[in-house]
Amino acid sequence: MDTSGIKQVKMHATTPTLRSALLYGKCPRCRKGNMFKYSLKHTAKFAEMNSHCSHCGANFAPEPGFYYGAMFVSYAFNVALLIGIWLFMYLLFDPSDWVYIASISVGAVVFTPVFFRYSRILFLYMFGGIKFDPNIR
C-alpha cells in the first residue's frame, strides 16, 4: 500500500492547553489533576474541592479564606447573566416586569453551581501563585 501522500501522526498523551484546563477545572501547575471532587452532574456536591492535586500535589487552598475573593468573580458572572437575560428578553419579547424578575431569578439559581466553580477556578489561576510547569509528568 502506497502511503507517500499520507503523513503519519503518532498519538500520545499531551498536556492540556490552558483553555481546556480552565474549562475542565484542572490543576494550574500540571493541568492534569482535578480541582473538584465531583463533576457538575452531582449538583448536591458541586462545591466540594480537593485540597491538593492528585497528580502533582499542588495546594488548592494557598491560605485560609483565599476564595473569598472569588465572590467578586462570581458577582461579575451574575451581573453578565442579568444583563444578558434582560437584553435578550427586552429585544425579543418586551414582557412585563414579573417575567423579567422570574427569568433572572431562575437563571441565577440554575447557573449558581457553574458560576461558583468557574469563579474559584479563575481566581486560583489568576491569584493562586501556582505557575504551570510543563516538566511535571
pLDDT at 16 (0 to 100): 87
pLDDT at 15 (0 to 100): 77
pLDDT tens digits, 21-60:
999 999 999 999 999 999 988 889 999 999 999 999 999 9
HEC sequence for the chain: CCCCCCCCCCCCCCCCCHHHHHHHCECCCCCCCECECCCCCCHHHCCCECCECCCCCCECCCCCCHHHHHHHHHHHHHHHHHHHHHHHHHHHCCCCHHHHHHHHHHHHHHHHHHHHHHHHHHHHHHHCCCCCCCCCC
pTM for this predicted structure: 0.82
pLDDT at 14 (0 to 100): 77
pLDDT at 9 (0 to 100): 43
Task: Domain ranges for the chain, please list them.
Answer: 18-127
